[in-house]
């Protein structure tokens, strides 16, 4: 069982902007506490980047007090009792205590109340239901402290009931397990998630995408992805096969700054059709879609590269592809029979990635051809494309003498 850092809670309360907010909202018979992730992360000595609060006050009263105190109040979720209060430029979500009156697996009809215990018991997991009073007292209505110390993610009350209130909690169960738990998933939560999995179908693609992209970069993503696969979830989420080896290899080298879209690519993209399927299945953004498609094309190129990659070949690849993506693909396929990568190629990639050596840039522009007498029009693009192929084949030189010679040859051939 892990020791929790209760002293960190005092440090949380000492934050100037947060303290100012709590002073305003803990007076005249009203009580406001810090709740959820901020309390959980402080106890685990993890960074606290967002602070949410829960209060006995109704939304209109939250906004009114903010105005009188000189804070800015933004009604970001007023139907569910949430007002974002901005204090000295720092935002805090302040939400009225609630009970769920009715749920449909996606949305809840809530009733505002004044009971912190009832509000805590309507939440998803015990480790997310902790609250911290302005006086420094830690409140735990669901045995969340014990679960947090044991590094266990457990639904509050009956797991089936919690999931039926919002089927996204299945995804959150695995994501929180990947981020906060040790060992195997909670058996009751895992069984209930399996039994209720059909409910995922009623969720929006965007909600699934959001949770999946957070899961693939979580602390224990590799283990949890395998659990998802072993229990029949992963194929349904991806709509296709998974590449565990490539995912694990990338995860082993990018832990300091994992990028969700690259982790997804390593896990689920083998050919460009995979990228197309994921775009529709997960409603990916245009940028994410472009990256997955580019990853697939580069992967195909490298897997069919006949000769070993040396420094010269790496220079050509760097000139023709995004350096970050090149690094990702090579990390994912490291150790596979193809491509064969020489040490000097990896050293060259390291220099490009660090900026020690600039990535070669094609030295000709359309304006150069126009100045050489070529009329504006489609011919310019055709000639530049031919020149670029010659430049790539000749080592991607960027010196002035080479550029002049290349231009001369292009104009002579044009």
Give residue limits of the domains in the chain: 1-156, 234-360, 366-413
Tokens representing residue 267 in the block: 């896990």
Rounded Cα distance, 177 and 221, in Å: 9
The answer to whether residues 346 and 335 touch, using CB atoms and an 8 Å cutoff, is no
Tens of pLDDT along the chain (414 residues) come to 568 999 999 999 999 999 999 999 999 999 999 999 999 999 999 999 999 999 999 999 999 999 999 999 999 988 789 999 999 999 999 999 998 666 666 666 678 999 999 999 999 999 999 999 999 999 999 999 999 999 999 999 999 999 999 999 999 999 999 999 999 999 999 999 999 999 999 999 999 999 999 999 999 999 999 999 999 999 999 999 999 999 999 999 999 999 999 999 999 999 999 999 999 999 999 999 999 999 999 999 999 998 999 999 999 999 999 999 999 999 999 999 999 999 999 999 999 999 999 999 999 999 999 999 999 999 999 999 999 999 999 999 999 999 999 999 999 987
Please give the CATH superfamily to which domain 1-156 belongs.
Beta Polymerase, domain 2 (3.30.460.10)
What is the C-alpha to C-alpha distance for residues 96 and 214, in angstroms, rounded to an integer?
A: 27
Residue 111 is predicted with a pLDDT of: 86
CA distance 179 to 125: 13
User: How many angstroms separate the CA atoms of 244 and 266, rounded?
Assistant: 8
Q: Are 259 and 275 in contact (CB under 8 A)?
A: no
- For residues 407 and 368, is the Cβ–Cβ distance under 8 A? yes
63: phi then psi, degrees, rounded to nearest 5: -65, -40
- Phi, psi torsion values for 93, nearest 5 degrees: -85, 120
What's the whole-model pTM score? 0.92
CA distance 278 to 209: 10
């Amino acid at each position: 069982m892990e020791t929790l850092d209760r002293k960190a809670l005092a440090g949380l309360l000492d934050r100037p902007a947060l303290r100012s907010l709590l002073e305003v909202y803990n007076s005249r018979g009203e009580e406001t506490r810090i709740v959820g992730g901020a309390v959980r992360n402080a106890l685990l000595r993890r960074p606290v980047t967002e602070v949410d609060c829960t209060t006995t006050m109704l939304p209109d009263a939250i906004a009114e007090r903010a105005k009188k105190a000189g804070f800015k109040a933004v009604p970001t979720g007023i139907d569910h009792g949430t007002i974002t209060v901005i204090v000295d430029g720092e935002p805090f979500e302040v939400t009225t205590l609630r009970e769920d009156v009715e749920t449909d697996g996606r949305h809840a009809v809530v009733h505002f109340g004044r009971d912190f215990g009832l509000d805590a018991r309507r939440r998803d997991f015990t480790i997310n239901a902790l609250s911290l009073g302005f006086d420094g007292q830690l409140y735990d209505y669901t045995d969340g402290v014990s679960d947090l110390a044991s590094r266990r993610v457990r639904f509050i009350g009956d797991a089936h009931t919690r999931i039926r209130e919002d089927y996204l909690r299945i995804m959150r169960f695995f994501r929180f397990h990947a981020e906060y738990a040790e060992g195997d998933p909670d058996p009751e939560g895992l069984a209930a998630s399996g039994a209720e999995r059909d409910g995922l179908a009623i969720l929006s693609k965007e909600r699934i995408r959001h949770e999946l992209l957070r899961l693939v970069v979580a602390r224990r993503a590799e283990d949890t992805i395998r659990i998802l696969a072993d229990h029949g979830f992963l194929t349904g989420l991806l709509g296709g096969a998974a590449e565990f080896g490539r995912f694990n290899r990338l995860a082993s080298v990018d832990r300091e700054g994992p990028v969700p879209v690259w982790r997804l690519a390593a896990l689920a993209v083998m050919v460009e059709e995979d990228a197309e399927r994921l775009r529709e299945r997960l409603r990916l953004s245009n940028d994410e879609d472009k990256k997955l498609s580019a990853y697939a094309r580069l992967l195909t190129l490298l897997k069919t590269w006949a000769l070993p990659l040396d420094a010269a070949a790496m220079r050509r690849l760097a000139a023709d592809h995004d350096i970050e993506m090149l690094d990702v693909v090579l990390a994912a396929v490291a150790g596979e029979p193809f491509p064969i990568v020489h040490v000097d190629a990896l050293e060259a990639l390291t220099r490009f990635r660090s900026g020690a050596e600039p990535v070669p840039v094609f030295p000709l522009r359309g304006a150069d051809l126009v100045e050489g007498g070529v009329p504006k029009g489609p011919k310019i693009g055709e000639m530049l494309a031919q020149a670029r192929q010659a430049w790539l084949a000749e080592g991607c030189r960027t010196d002035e003498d080479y550029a002049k010679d290349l231009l001369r040859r292009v104009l002579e051939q044009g």
